[in-house]
């Protein structure tokens, strides 16, 4: 994912996770955890949070994004 603008995405109701960009293992039987995703050079602001990653999978990269909040901290 590169060169996108993602702003002001806020859930309209209570949800277990949310964000402008969400990378997570949904735990479906037979599904692989998220791996090899590259999120770079995006503007991701005004979301709750801007980037959410459950730290699952391997080789996921978050770099050179303009953002303010992330779970875990440090992805912006």
What are 8-64's pLDDT values in tens digits? 988 889 988 889 999 999 887 778 899 999 999 999 999 989 999 999 999 999 999
Number of domains in the chain: 1
pTM of the model as a whole: 0.88
Run of H or E residues at 36: none
Q: What's residue 26's pLDDT?
A: 84
Task: Find the domain containing 51 and state its range.
Answer: 1-26+33-76
Distance between CA 32 and CA 20 in Å, rounded? 22
């Amino acid at each position: 994912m590169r060169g996108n603008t993602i702003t002001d995405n806020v859930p309209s109701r209570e949800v277990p996770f949310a964000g402008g960009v969400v990378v997570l293992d949904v735990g479906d039987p037979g599904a692989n955890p998220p791996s090899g995703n590259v999120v770079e050079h995006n503007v991701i602001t005004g979301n709750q949070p801007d980037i959410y990653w459950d730290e699952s999978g391997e080789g996921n990269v978050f770099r050179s994004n303009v953002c303010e909040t992330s779970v875990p901290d440090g992805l912006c």
